[in-house]
Chain A
Amino acid sequence: MIQLHNVSLAYQQDASALNNINLKVGKGEFVFLTGPSGAGKTTLLRLLYGALTPTRGQVLIDGQNISRMTTFQIPHLRRSIGVVFQDFKLLQSRTVFENVAITLEVLGWGRADIGKKTMHMLKQMGIESKYNLITQRLSGGEQQRVALARALVNDPKILLADEPTGNLDDANKNQILAIFKEANVRGTTVVVATHDRRLIEHGHKRLITLNKGEIVEQMEKEENIDEYAF
């Protein structure tokens, strides 16, 4: 589903953010991306949804080469990728419903279908009673769930999340993780960038550690989570 071949990216000439990354993520996989701040986690995610193009190397999403895409193709790529941002990027002056519905409006759905699907999604997230509230009024955890609902409402092939549990309490973290797992079970490939150990310990399937723009460690893990000590 996701393939990176010798990918390097430099924001400026001398300082490279990513260095010779090779990575393969199969369909239906659940991957954690970890590493210290500035390791290149966010940059890597941005490459995957076409916000950046690599300086060298190739990024393939579902067999399509992103660096060869035209400006008309990028939007279509993004429709199959749900993204949850570190800062949520919600529209603060719009309601919860409108924030989630925007994904479906872009796809050209009819109003009735949008209403149904959006409310269904909000119900799954447990925030259906807040559908008519301005997102500004919500707590951090609730905003996070709105962001998740927006990313998942069109059943994307890939879900990318950047520090999705940044400032949530444990109960919220577990709920968010459960939502990720559920999406994964339904066939969505999930990539979560985080340095939240608790999240990794509880949800860890495959772990990729980045440092200074390079992959320093890759770990596969089957069932017993507690054997890995962090």
Chain B
Amino acid sequence: MYFLLRALANIRQNIFVNVVTIGTITLALLIVSLFLLVFVNLENAAENWSERVQVTVYFDRELTIQEQTMLRGKIKALPETSSVSYVSRDEALKRFKNRLRGQETLLEGVRPEVLPTSFEISLKRAHRDTQGVENFVASLKRVPGITEVQYGEEWVRRFNSFLNFMRLLGALLVGFLILAVVFIVSNTIKLTIYARRDEIEVMSLVGATSFFIKAPFLLEGLMQGLAGAIISICLLLGLYVGFLHNAGSFLTFNLVSSGLGFLPPEYIGGIILSGAILGFTGSLTSLKRFVNP
């Protein structure tokens, strides 16, 4: 209790220094959380892109209704399958025509019979990577009656390597950002403690144990970190509500119209926690230099 009162009194007495420290922590965490916001949304956009990972089973004849239901059931029974739809010859022709709009003359003489029928299968999220798709195709081929299976091998591979590259880049950037933040914040805290080194000296000379000297500073650091984190989350929310959530179409390449999402709660918790840790450890490491008997 004494330490808490002492820490609060310190904050009151050194209001300017505290405002600077909290401001630094706020800005640093705001930059990190802004980056996280963009990153989380890009990841979401990528998830949506992966809807396009689709496996198609072709048949050279029109299937009877019984055959359709039978095969549909077998495909659905596979654990990776998320949805299945049948494309009849008429449907296929319609799509073909759509694609060649303006050049319909090319289709003269094309009758539905020359086109294949197919099942279009989309996969559950967890199985959309290269390996998952290949495994799925292998088990599809084991279903009797299915012979020809196609999927955009190249596309899937490229898409997944792009995704991995993005994640690596993001992790690297976040890593550098965090390093920079730790460096800046710990230096700011070091300055504030340096400004009060005479107090530390006097405490030690009248016989205070190092715990007794450190505790108020650590609490102060903890409170600064928490305050900084909470303010930065509020600012981020302000920015988000202010204009970011309308910018969805720009950031997600028009793929999803739902707009940008805000950070999920576990990220917010993480930012607040890291603010507290930042303030605490920043004070702890700075104190090492000044508290010695």
Q: Is A75 an interface residue (CB 8 A)?
A: yes
Is B281 on the interface with A (CB-CB < 8 A)? Answer: no
Looking at the complex, which one of B198, B203, B205 makes contact with A83 (CB distance below 8 Å)?
B205
Decide yes or no whether A116 CB sits under 8 A from chain B: no
A79 to B209 CA separation, bound complex (whole angstroms):
10
| A40 sits at the interface (CB 8 A) | no
Contact A75–B199 (Cβ < 8 Å): no
Q: Is the CB of B293 within 8 A of A106?
A: no
Partner of B293, one of A71, A93, A103: A71
Contact with B along A58-83 (1 / 0, CB 8 A): 00000000000001101111111101
Question: How far, in whole Å, are A92 and B212 apart by their CA atoms in the complex?
Answer: 21
> What distance in Å separates the Cβ of A229 from its nearest Cβ neighbour in chain B?
37
B192 adjacent to chain A (CB < 8 Å) = no
Check: A49 CB closer than 8 A to any chain B CB. yes
A90 and B202 CA atoms in complex are apart in Å by: 8
Chain A residues closer than 8 Å to B207, beta-carbon distance: 75-81, 103, 106-107
The number of chain B residues touching the other chain, given as a range, is 10 to 19
B293 / chain A contacts, CB cutoff of 8 Å: 50-51, 71, 74-75
> Which of A50, A71, A93, A150 contacts B206, CB < 8 Å?
A150
**A93 CA / B10 CA spacing, docked (Å):** 11
Interface 1/0 per residue, B184-211 and A, CB below 8 Å: 0000000000000011011111111110
Q: Cα distance A89–B198 when bound, in Å?
A: 7
B13 A106 Cβ-Cβ under 8 A: no
Residues of A within 8 A of B205 (CB): 49, 51, 78, 83, 89
- Distance (whole angstroms) from the CB of A100 to the closest CB of chain B: 10
Closest to A49 in B: B205
Are A106 and B210 in contact (CB-based, < 8 A)? Answer: no
Name the B residues within 8 Å of A81 (CB-CB): 207
Among B2, B13, B202, B209, point to the contact of A102 (Cβ < 8 A): B202
B199 contacts across to A, CB distance below 8 A: 91
Interface string of A88-126 (1 = CB under 8 A from B): 011111100000001101110000000000000000000
List B residues at the A interface (Cβ < 8 Å): 2, 13, 198-199, 201-210, 212, 293
Other than A78-B206, A106-B203, give 11 A-B pairs with Cβ distance below 8 A: A50-B293, A71-B293, A74-B293, A75-B293, A77-B207, A81-B207, A91-B198, A94-B13, A102-B202, A106-B206, A106-B212
Q: Can you list 9 A-B contacts (CB < 8 A)?
A: A51-B205, A75-B208, A75-B209, A75-B293, A81-B207, A102-B206, A103-B207, A106-B203, A106-B206
